Structure 1
Amino acid sequence: MRIEGGTELSIRSGESPSSVGGGAGSAIRFGVEEEFFVVDAATREAVPAAAAVVRGAEGRLGSRVCGEITKLQLEARSEPCDTAADLYAQLVEGRVAVAEAAEAQGLRVVASGTPVLGKVIPPPITEGPRQDRGTATFRGLHDELGICAVHVHVNMPDRDRAVLISNHLRPHLPVLIALAANSPYWAERDTGYSSWRTVTWQRWPVAGPPPYFSSAEQYDAFVGTLLDAGALVDRGTIFWDIRLSAHQPTLEVRVADMPTTAEESAALAALVRALVVVAGQAVDGGDPGPVVAAELMRLAYWRAARDGLGGHGVDVHSGQLRPAGELADELLRLAEPVLADLGELDLVADWRRRLATDGDGATRQRRAAEQRGRLTDVVDHLVAHTSPR
């Protein structure tokens, strides 16, 4: 398993998934949804051709591939997994399948939080009754809906426990934004931000960090308020960065930009699952989670989105500005005992070291542009590292 630059992580190409990432990994199953942009192979512009790619990949992936809200995007997802090694194998399978389906159509797929090139404002919205209700509800917000994220689902059938675990995860969200920052470009220009996707997403009425809840009953009551107010099309449009899944017995963490490589998605998911385990231990000990002011969370989100991992972030517990790398290292130390028990510490630690050496995804995108001053080179960089072939 390799991240760009050639350094191997702890899951190596050709290694049996059952031989790594074992241990107690079966304690909580997890899975990932990855979103991709479809781009023209010649112009490198994002194009509304996702349906053709989905059709081409369905023979191999079946229901694990589908369209998205815009015609520029598609989604590939894993089945529930016990280990990060199993997850990685499924992510590789999904990426290879959609990449090959795209190539058969003279297209490519890229993993990035935002498209680099193309006329994507407003994006072409997929047709359907639900999409039409969304357009009627959210109106101009759909104009900037061409964004891609990675969603991590962790099995959590006890909804009351899931809500309290969400309270514990909530302060970690800005650090996860910085670790996965991979969307510096928008409308064919450099935004100056590392995660522009995070910035655009905050405009929605139900987005960003979830409120602090004391129970599933309180969660459900507030969702009912949102539905009554017309802020949701349905429960599937609860876009908080942590939410109880509307269809699965899972807690879904959806804060991160779409990572460029499958290795990064697997490592991020392993970290999220470990943080869920740590939070669950605290909840089982009677701790309902720290209360962090929404205003401070908003500030920390903005700084993480602007600086990514290479600048500074806001410590949501103290309010102090600190190097983002320090905050990331503290988060990894919190998860370290669980990652070690799961056999996945090397995977996450190697990812962190590679981020320190090569930079976050946004930094790597900008480096690709700087070599010749061409945004087409950024797309080529993304294409080359999206599919691990």
Structure 2
Amino acid sequence: MNARILSPLSGAGTLVSPPPLPLAVPRPAAGRPATLSLGVEEEYLLVDARTWHLVPAAPEILADVAQADHAFHGEGTLHQVETATPVHHTLDGLRESLTGARRVLGAAARARGYRLIAAASPVLTPPAPLALNLDKERRRTRRTLFGTLTDNLVSCGRHVHVGTVDKPSAVRVSNRMRPWVPTFVALAAGSPIWHGKDTGHASWRTVTWSSWPSAGLPPHFASTAAYDGAVRGLIHSGAALDTGMVYWDLRPSENWPTLELRAPDMSPRLDGALLQAALARALTAHILAEEPDLSGSPFTSDRTLRLARWRAARDGLEGTGIDPFTGAEVPAATLAWQLVDLLGPELEAAGDYGHVSRTLTDMLREGSAAARQRAVFARRGRATDVLRHLAEETEAC
């Protein structure tokens, strides 16, 4: 018999131990049309097709694709390129944009003897010194102020934007979404191999990126003014140069009327990207439908959430998570199905339930990105095999 807990997010019971197969598709919630939009930013690594080592090829690749009908950008290092989709309202449209951008970049990389890799962290040891992207004054200042910490910039995340959401609403959603950040981390975990070795963590990127003083879980904010004050505190203390260096797992975007989920690892399969996007939009819709009283937002302890986030980074989807509301150890897959169960009406209203349930079922059957990489690495202990595997999965879109 499945135990039940009361979820502070909904006030209703949610399954703690759901079945391993998709739950019955719920009826759409009345009066909840799929109005929220989606946009996704993806970061990629560039490697030599022969040696598999990182190459500082971003300037030439970006020049080659400058006329393409996609938004491409540089990143923190010259070993990376970034894509940004247009605004979409359906997963099909989002998939089309992500697929098109990936194919254009992949073809450009191959034409120059490189490969495009959807990996969250360097699998082989990066060159020393790292080729930082210092084309802007703020980037040069960041290198001066943060020193070797900027070596962590070579990690790659997937950022999901949900809109249209004004700042007060985004802060409120962030408060209530915080307990589910560890589940998003576990679902996307895909950086177990780092510098040629197994780190013992499914998402090593989550661990290393947390070394930035402005990264990690956002605080719980009593008001929008409290959020603004916390950002000012980061800047005045020197922990961030400006609002662009607010690296929290969740934040109101400074450039768009969106809530930005920054926690997920970059991963090679596009179904994983669509899963993250669908769940982020559904959770945002779920929270926005609640009473907009910031001061009354429920929250779990920061201590429990920090432990849950680290456990998600270590164990990934195949391991054990920590229930953010009870502190109990629970299979990470159970927590994932619990989130799907909670968001059933919103997912169904958006037409996303089928994709989410199928993708999660496939991930549990075939293995997460981290599990697949570890299986490849275990055969011969060669990090180059993992990079070849990642390149093939990246191109199979």
Secondary structure in 2 matching 1:59: coil
Partner Cα separation in structure 1 for residue 79 and residue 153 of structure 2: 10
Q: How does 1:78-157 map to 2 (within 5 A)?
A: 78-120=85-127, 123-127=130-134, 128-157=136-165
CA contact (8 A) 1:117 1:188 kept: yes
Partner Cα separation in structure 2 for residue 197 and residue 121 of structure 1: 19
- Please state how far the C-alpha of 1:285 moved relative to its aligned partner: 7.8
Secondary structure in 1 matching 2:264: strand
Distance verdict in 2 for CA 1:370–1:25, change over 3 Å: farther
Secondary structure in 2 matching 1:327: helix
Instruction: Could you tell me which runs of 5 or more consecutive residues in structure 1 were left unpaired when the two chains were aligned.
Output: 1-22
Distance verdict in 2 for CA 1:245–1:40, change over 3 Å: same
Partner Cα separation in structure 2 for residue 370 and residue 125 of structure 1: 32
- Please state how far the C-alpha of 1:372 moved relative to its aligned partner: 3.4
For the pair 1:74 / 2:81, whether they are aligned, the reply is yes
- Please state how far the C-alpha of 1:156 moved relative to its aligned partner: 3.6
CA contact (8 A) 2:192 2:198 kept: yes
- Please state how far the C-alpha of 1:236 moved relative to its aligned partner: 0.5
Partner Cα separation in structure 2 for residue 113 and residue 199 of structure 1: 12
Partner Cα separation in structure 2 for residue 289 and residue 61 of structure 1: 42
CA contact (8 A) 2:268 2:394 kept: yes
Q: How does 1:367-378 map to 2 (within 5 A)?
A: 367-378=375-386
Secondary structure in 2 matching 1:75: strand
For the pair 1:344 / 2:352, whether they are aligned, the reply is yes
Secondary structure in 2 matching 1:60: coil
2:26 counterpart residue number: none
- Please state how far the C-alpha of 1:108 moved relative to its aligned partner: 0.6
Q: How does 1:117-266 map to 2 (within 5 A)?
A: 117-120=124-127, 123-127=130-134, 128-266=136-274
For the pair 1:36 / 2:44, whether they are aligned, the reply is yes
Partner Cα separation in structure 2 for residue 315 and residue 188 of structure 1: 32
CA contact (8 A) 1:71 1:125 kept: yes
Partner Cα separation in structure 1 for residue 371 and residue 380 of structure 2: 15
CA contact (8 A) 1:84 1:344 kept: yes
Instruction: Could you tell me which runs of 5 or more consecutive residues in structure 2 were left unpaired when the two chains were aligned.
Output: 1-30
The letter of the residue matching 1:47 is V
1:379 counterpart residue number: 387
- Please state how far the C-alpha of 1:204 moved relative to its aligned partner: 1.0
For the pair 1:322 / 2:315, whether they are aligned, the reply is no
Partner Cα separation in structure 2 for residue 120 and residue 111 of structure 1: 19
Secondary structure in 2 matching 1:356: helix
Partner Cα separation in structure 2 for residue 120 and residue 238 of structure 1: 27
CA contact (8 A) 1:49 1:71 kept: yes
Q: How does 1:259-274 map to 2 (within 5 A)?
A: 259-274=267-282
Q: How does 1:287-326 map to 2 (within 5 A)?
A: 288-326=296-334
The number of residue pairs the alignment matches comes to: 366
RMSD: 1.7
Distance verdict in 2 for CA 1:326–1:76, change over 3 Å: same
- Please state how far the C-alpha of 1:354 moved relative to its aligned partner: 0.9
Partner Cα separation in structure 2 for residue 110 and residue 347 of structure 1: 24
* Residues 246-274 of structure 1 deviation map (CA, whole Å, 9 limit, x = unaligned): 11111100000002112211121111111
Partner Cα separation in structure 2 for residue 122 and residue 303 of structure 1: 32
- Please state how far the C-alpha of 1:189 moved relative to its aligned partner: 1.1
CA contact (8 A) 2:149 2:212 kept: yes
Secondary structure in 1 matching 2:147: helix
The letter of the residue matching 2:95 is Y
CA contact (8 A) 2:172 2:294 kept: no
2:6 counterpart residue number: none
Partner Cα separation in structure 2 for residue 61 and residue 232 of structure 1: 33
The letter of the residue matching 2:121 is T
* Residues 68-96 of structure 1 deviation map (CA, whole Å, 9 limit, x = unaligned): 00111110110010111100100001110
Secondary structure in 1 matching 2:40: strand
- Please state how far the C-alpha of 1:292 moved relative to its aligned partner: 1.7
The letter of the residue matching 1:85 is D
- Please state how far the C-alpha of 1:288 moved relative to its aligned partner: 4.3
- Please state how far the C-alpha of 1:234 moved relative to its aligned partner: 0.9
Secondary structure in 2 matching 1:257: coil
Partner Cα separation in structure 1 for residue 206 and residue 259 of structure 2: 20
- Please state how far the C-alpha of 1:214 moved relative to its aligned partner: 2.3
Partner Cα separation in structure 2 for residue 288 and residue 154 of structure 1: 23
Distance verdict in 2 for CA 1:288–1:60, change over 3 Å: farther
The letter of the residue matching 1:282 is E
Partner Cα separation in structure 1 for residue 344 and residue 34 of structure 2: 17
Distance verdict in 2 for CA 1:25–1:106, change over 3 Å: farther
Distance verdict in 2 for CA 1:328–1:334, change over 3 Å: same
* Residues 30-82 of structure 1 deviation map (CA, whole Å, 9 limit, x = unaligned): 100000000110011122112222222222135x1011001111101100101
CA contact (8 A) 1:37 1:109 kept: yes
Distance verdict in 2 for CA 1:343–1:25, change over 3 Å: same
Secondary structure in 1 matching 2:154: coil
Identity of aligned residues (%): 39
The letter of the residue matching 1:155 is G
The letter of the residue matching 2:118 is A
Partner Cα separation in structure 2 for residue 288 and residue 52 of structure 1: 51
